[in-house]
Amino acid sequence: MATKLLALSLSFCFLLLGGCFALREQPEQNECQLERLNALEPDNRIESEGGLIETWNPNNKQFRCAGVALSRATLQHNALRRPYYSNAPQEIFIQQGNGYFGMVFPGCPETFEEPQESEQGEGRRYRDRHQKVNRFREGDIIAVPTGIVFWMYNDQDTPVIAVSLTDIRSSNNQLDQMPRRFYLAGNHEQEFLRYQHQQGGKQEQENEGNNIFSGFKRDFLEDAFNVNRHIVDRLQGRNEDEEKGAIVKVKGGLSIISPPEKQARHQRGSRQEEDEDEDEERQPRHQRGSRQEEEEDEDEERQPRHQRRRGEEEEEDKKERRGSQKGKSRRQGDNGLEETVCTAKLRLNIGPSSSPDIYNPEAGRIKTVTSLDLPVLRWLKLSAEHGSLHKNAMFVPHYNLNANSIIYALKGRARLQVVNCNGNTVFDGELEAGRALTVPQNYAVAAKSLSDRFSYVAFKTNDRAGIARLAGTSSVINNLPLDVVAATFNLQRNEARQLKSNNPFKFLVPARQSENRASA
C-alpha cells in the first residue's frame, strides 16, 4: 500500500554510495555440480506483431547455477516493446540497432514536456508531460532495476536486437527463482511462464487477460481511472488479438519528443557492421565513434543542443566537474532528489565504438562497465564486458573472482575451454554468434578466436566483477616468488623463470605469439 517515495530511498542509495546493496542468493544444493557446460541457443520463440522474443530455458542447469535468465528481443521498424516490469534486475545489451527507451521511477517528476498541445480539437488545451525518454544505440548496456516499468521502441529501419540478462537470484527479488514479467498491457503470455511448470511447480492458474490490469474487476478500474468501460476493456486487453503480443507495431510511428539534432546522427547506425573489421586501423572512425559517445552523454543533461555547440572549451570544463561530482551539479533550483535517482544515468556504451579498457591492435580489445562507470549497477549488482578478438588471438586462462559470467557471442566464433575445481574440462568447444555459455565463479576459462573478428558480451553477477589471470605479465603465477613457483610445479629455477616471464602480454595474446612459438 501507500508509502514513502521510493525515489527518496534510491537517492539515498546513491548519496551514500553503497547504501542499498543487492546481494545474491546461492544456488540450492548441488546445483553447481556441473559435469558439462553447453553453448546454448534460445529454445523458445514467441512471435509478436512487431518482433519476437526468444528465451533460454532458465531451468537449464548452467543457468540455475548462475541464477540468471536470458532472453533476446527483436524489434522491427516502428515496433514498441510494451511497458513491463520484472521481479529481478535486468541488464540489457543492444546487439544491433538504435531507438528510444523509457523507465518510470515512482516519485520522480515528469520532466519532459511536449512543446505544443498534442491535441487541439477540443476546447481545453492539453500539454503532455512524462518522465525522461532516452536514446539507445548499438553497444549500449541498459540497467533496469527490479520493479521499474521499462519500454523500448525502434524508430529506425535496422531491426533492434536486445539481449537481456535477468538476475533472478538478486536479493532485490524477494519472490522465488522464477523470472516474472508483469506486463501493463496486452493479452499474451509472459515469456518465461512456460518454464514454470517444468521447474517442478504447479503452473499458475489459467489466464484470461495476462496483463496486470486484466485480473482486476471492471468496476475497480473504472473507479481508479475514472474512465468508461471501453477504455477499461482496452486496458485489460480484452478484445485484443493474442497474436499482437509483447511487441506491437505503431502505425505511422511514435512521436516522442527528444532534444533536437538527434535524428540525423542515428541514421548511421546500420552502416557500422561492414566497417567493423578494420576499425582499429582507421583512426578517424574511432574519433567519430568517441565523439558520438560524448554527444550522447551530453544528452543526459537535456539542454537544447544548439546551445551546446557554442563554446567547446566551456563544454570541456563542465565535463570535468561533472565527472568527479555527478549528483552535485551546481545548477541552482534543482533539489538533491532530482539530481540523484531521477536523473541517474541508465545506459553506457561498451560497443566497438567506445574507448576500450584493454587494447592490443594485434589481438583485440575489451571494454567493461562496472558500478564505477555506471553507478546504478551498484544497486543491481551486475556488470558487463564487451570484447573482440582477432583471428587466432587468445585471452589467457583466468577465472572470475567474485561473479558468474554469462558469455553471449555476438559475431564470429571462438574455441573456449572451461575447467572446474577438480581439473576437469567442463567445456571444450566452439562458441558461435547467438549462443551463450555460463562460466561459473572461480572456474578457469580461456579462449582463442576462430574468426577474423570474434566478439562477445559477458554479463557478470557482481557490480565490480574481478578476474585473476593465470598466465602472462602480472598474472597469479607472475606474482608468486620464483622459488614458490619452482617448488609448486616441480620445475628448475630457470624453467620457473620462463613460466613467470615468457609471455610479455597482459591479457590478450596476439596470434603471432603462437605462430612464433611454433616456428621456433
Sites for its own copies among residues 418-447 (CB under 8 A)? 418-426, 428, 440-442, 444-447
Nearest residue (CB) to its own copies, 159 versus 209? 209
Provide, rounded to whole angstroms, the least separation between the CB of residue 468 and its own copies: 4
Residue 477 in the binding site for its own copies (CB under 8 A): yes
Nearest residue (CB) to its own copies, 133 versus 436? 133
Among residues 56, 63, 183, 195, the one that binds its own copies under rule CB under 8 A: 183
Residue 495 in the binding site for its own copies (CB under 8 A): yes
Nearest residue (CB) to its own copies, 69 versus 508? 508
CA end-to-end distance (rounded Å), the chain: 73
Provide, rounded to whole angstroms, the least separation between the CB of residue 96 and its own copies: 21
Site for its own copies in 22-51 (CB under 8 A): 23-36
Tell me the window of 268-276, 324-332, 344-352, 490-498 that interacts with its own copies (CB under 8 A).
490-498
Nearest residue (CB) to its own copies, 282 versus 479? 479
Among residues 41, 43, 47, 106, the one that binds its own copies under rule CB under 8 A: 106
Residues with Cβ within 8 Å of 61's Cβ and at least 6 positions away in sequence, in order, are 31, 34
DSSP letter string, 18-58: SSS---BPPPPTTTT--S----BPP-EEEEETTEEEEE--T
Among residues 51, 58, 83, 412, the one that binds its own copies under rule CB under 8 A: 83
Residue 101 in the binding site for its own copies (CB under 8 A): no
Q: How many residues bind its own copies (CB under 8 A)?
A: 207
Residue 493 in the binding site for its own copies (CB under 8 A): yes
How does DSSP classify residue 309?
A: T
3-state secondary structure 453-485: EEEEEEEECCCCCCEEECCCCCCCCCCCCHHHH
- Phi-psi map region of 247: left, alpha, beta (phi>0 left; psi -120 to 50 alpha): beta
Residue 120 in the binding site for its own copies (CB under 8 A): no
Residues with Cβ within 8 Å of 321's Cβ and at least 6 positions away in sequence, in order, are 330
Among residues 38, 44, 194, 209, the one that binds its own copies under rule CB under 8 A: 209
DSSP letter string, 364-404: EEEEEE-TTTSTHHHHHT-EEEEEEEETT-EEEEEEESS--
Residue 212 in the binding site for its own copies (CB under 8 A): yes
Nearest-angstrom CA–CA distance, 127 and 87? 33
Nearest residue (CB) to its own copies, 223 versus 317? 223
Among residues 122, 281, 312, 313, the one that binds its own copies under rule CB under 8 A: 122
Among residues 144, 161, 221, 363, the one that binds its own copies under rule CB under 8 A: 221
Residue 174 in the binding site for its own copies (CB under 8 A): yes
Q: What is the CA radius of gyration of the chain?
A: 25
- x/- mask, its own copies, residues 283-322, rule CB under 8 A, reads ----------------------------------------
Residue 218 in the binding site for its own copies (CB under 8 A): no
Nearest-angstrom CA–CA distance, 46 and 86? 18
Closest CA relative to residue 186, chosen from 235, 223, 224: 235
Residue 262 in the binding site for its own copies (CB under 8 A): no
Tell me which amino acid residue 49 is: E
- Count of residues in the chain: 520
**Do the Cβ atoms of 448 and 422 come closer than 8 Å?**
no
Tell me the window of 69-77, 176-184, 265-273, 328-336 that interacts with its own copies (CB under 8 A).
176-184
DSSP letter string, 70-138: EEEEEE-TTEEEEEEEESS-EEEEEEE--EEEEEE-TT----EE-SS-SB-SSSS-B--EES-EEEE-T
Residue 61 in the binding site for its own copies (CB under 8 A): no
Torsion angle, CA of 138/141/142/144, rounded to 10 degrees? 150
Among residues 39, 80, 380, 410, the one that binds its own copies under rule CB under 8 A: 80
What is the biggest distance separating any 2 CA atoms in the chain, rounded to whole angstroms?
Answer: 91
Tell me which amino acid residue 206 is: E
For 246, list phi and psi in degrees, rounded to 5.
-75, -20
Site for its own copies in 132-151 (CB under 8 A): 133, 146-149, 151
Residue 115 in the binding site for its own copies (CB under 8 A): no
Tell me if residue 154 falls in helix, strand or coil. strand
Residue 108 in the binding site for its own copies (CB under 8 A): yes
Residue 240 in the binding site for its own copies (CB under 8 A): yes
Site for its own copies in 321-360 (CB under 8 A): 357-358
Nearest residue (CB) to its own copies, 126 versus 275? 126
Tell me the window of 90-98, 181-189, 266-274, 318-326 that interacts with its own copies (CB under 8 A).
181-189
Residue 413 in the binding site for its own copies (CB under 8 A): no
